[in-house]
Structure 1
Amino acid sequence: MILWYRAMLSRIHTSALNRHTSEKAVKHLIQCWTKKFDENQVPEAESSIKHIICSILGLRNVSRLDTMRNQILTDDEYHRLLVNTELRLKRMPVQYVIGEWDFCGLTMKMSHSPSVFIPRPETEDLVTIASELVQHLTPEEGSLRDPSCFEIGCGSGAISLALLSKHDKLRCTAIDANPAAVSLSRLNSELLGLADRASFSIAKLEDDGVIHVFSPADSQKFDILVSNPPYIPTAEISGLQPEVFRYEDHLALDGGPDGTRLIETIIRNSPKWLRGGAFIVLEIDPRQTKMIQLISQDCGSYAGFSVRKDCFGVDRFVVLRCK
C-alpha cells in the first residue's frame, strides 16, 4: 500500500512537472501570448511575441522559431519573457521592448529612454530611391571627390547607415535636434563598422533655415540630401496609436499645422547646402504632394520634381533636383 501511494505521488509530481515544463515551450508560449495580446488589443500579436522570443533566444530571424517550437525556455529566459510581454501589454513598441530592429538588412539598436524614432518599413524604399540616385553621382575613376550625403533628422541613423552599407565611397553627414538620436546613431555606426564615413551632430534646422551648432566647411557641398522629416499635422498627433503617441519622440512626428513646416524649410534652403544637379529625397504624407510641388516651384531652384510610391503603393516620397 505504501509503495502504491509513493508511486502515485511520483506520477502526480512527474505529471505536474511535465505540465509546468510544457508551459515554457516555444510553441505553447507563442499560442498563449498571441491570444493574450489579441484579447488586450495589442497590434501584430503573433509577430510581437515571436520577436520577443527570438530576442530572448538570441535568434536573428523569426523563421528560425519554426525549428525550435519544442524548445523549453530556462527559468531566466522565461522571467525575461514575462518582463518583456508586460511591456508590450502596456503598448510599448516591440522595437523598444527588444532594443533593436532590422532595417535594410542591418540590425540597429533602438532606444526608448529617452525615445528615438523607430524606422518604418516604407522608409527602406527611401533608401532604395536614394541609392539609385547615388549610383549616378559616383565620380569617374581617378576623381579625387567621393559622393556625399546630407541627412536632416537622422533618428537611429538608419537611412544614412543603410546608404553607407550600399556604397563604399559614399560619405554621410547627418544632424538631429534630439541628442539621444545623435548618440544612438553614433553607436549604430560604430557597431556596424561605418563610423569612419559617418558624421552625426546635434543641431536643429530653424524655420529661417539656420542650422545652429553645425558648421560644415564653407566649401562643403553635398550631392544628395535625404530626410524622413516630421510630417504629421499637429492636430492628428493625439489620435495616433498608443505605441506611437505614448512612446515615440514627438519631435520626430509633429510637422506643424499642415505637416509641412520642416519640409518647406528644407526645400527652400537646401540649394545652399547642395551642388548643382544634386538630388533631394523626402518622405512625406501623400496628402501633401501638391502643396510640396507648389513650394518647390515657388523657390525656382529646382529643375525636376517627381513623386514615388512606397512598398504599399502609396505616394510617399518626393524627389527634387537642383538646377
Structure 2
Amino acid sequence: MTTLFDRYQLGALTLPNRVVMAPMTRVRAGEGGVATPSMATYYAQRATAGLIVTEGVQPSLIGQSNPGTPGLHTDEQVASWRPVTDAVHANGGRIFAQIMHGGRVSHPDTTGMQPVGPSAVPAVGEVFTPNGPKPAPVPRALETAEVPEHARSYAEAALRAMEAGFDGVELHGANGYLISQFLSSTANLRTDIYGGSIANRIRFAVEAVSATVEAVGGRRTGIRLSPGAGIWGAEETDVPELYGALLAELAPLDLAYIHLEATTDEEVLVGLRKEWPGTLIVNPAFPMGPRQTDKAAADHWLGLGADLISFGRAFIANPDLVERLRQNLPIAPYDESTWYQGGDAGYITYSAYQHAA
C-alpha cells in the first residue's frame, strides 16, 4: 500500500516522501517584486517536504495580480531568488516556482496598467490593491495577435527560474487566473481561435505549456488546475469533457505532473486520473474552504490513484509538517490575521514540534 512517506521519482528528482507544499500567496516580496532573506528562511524551514511549490510568481508586470508578490521577469528578481533556492537545496529540499499570470484579477493601482483578459468581462468580487480591496476592474480584451506573447511569458519566466536555481516550474492554470480565464465559458466570450468550443478554450493553456516545455523541458514543467471551481467568477461548462480534452493535448509533452485541486466531484477527478498517464498531484481541500488537507484525506486520495498529495494551510504553522504527519503529532493552528500582513510574524516564527523533556 502506498503511503505519504514512500519515495517517488519525479523526473530527475528523487522525492523522499509524497508530501508537496502547495503554492500559497504570502505577499512578503520586497520592492520591485524581489525575493527577500525572510522568504529564503520560510522555504528552507519547510524543505523536508518532498517538493515545495512556491507562491505565485508573476511572469510580467501586467501579469501581477496582488501587491507584494514576487516576479521572475527582471534580472534583479532572478538574482534575489538564488539565495532562496540555495537555502532550500542546502536543507535537502526540491523547489518549483509557480508561474502565475493574474489576467483580469488585477488592478491599475497595483501595476499601473489596465488588466488584460480573454474578454472585457470583470472578475467577480474585490481584488487586493496597495490601497485596500477594490472592485475588480473591466479588463482589456486581448487582441488575437497578442495572445501568443502572453502564452510565451510563462516560458520566459521558466527560463529565468532555471537561472535562479529552481528545479522546475508549475504553471498556475487554476483558481480563476489567466489560463483558467481562457478555459472558462463566462470569462472567455471570444469568437476567434481562443474561444467558443472546447478545442479553442484549451488552446491558450496548451500553447503556454508547450512553450514552457520547449524552453525548459517537460520533466521540469507542471501545471495546476481547478476543474469546475468557478473562483473569481470563472465558471466552466462541460467540465469532464473540457479537462479530458486538455489532458489529452498535454499527455504527449511528458510533463513532470498535473496538479489537481479537489474542486469538482470526486468521480470526475478519478476519471481524470484514469485519463492522465503521468504523475498526478492532488490537493484534497477546496481553496480557502472550511477544511484543510489532513492525513486521512491524503491517504484517501493515494488510494484513489494520486501519486503525491499537496498540503497548503497546514504548512503555514507547521514547518515540520512531514514529521508531524509521520509521527501523528498535533498539527499547530495558524494565525489567519498574519497571512497577508507582511513582516516575519506568522511567517518564519512558527517552530518545529517541541517534545516534552
**TM-score normalised by L of structure 2:** 0.30
More helix by share: 1
The structure whose Rg is larger is 1
More strand by share: 1
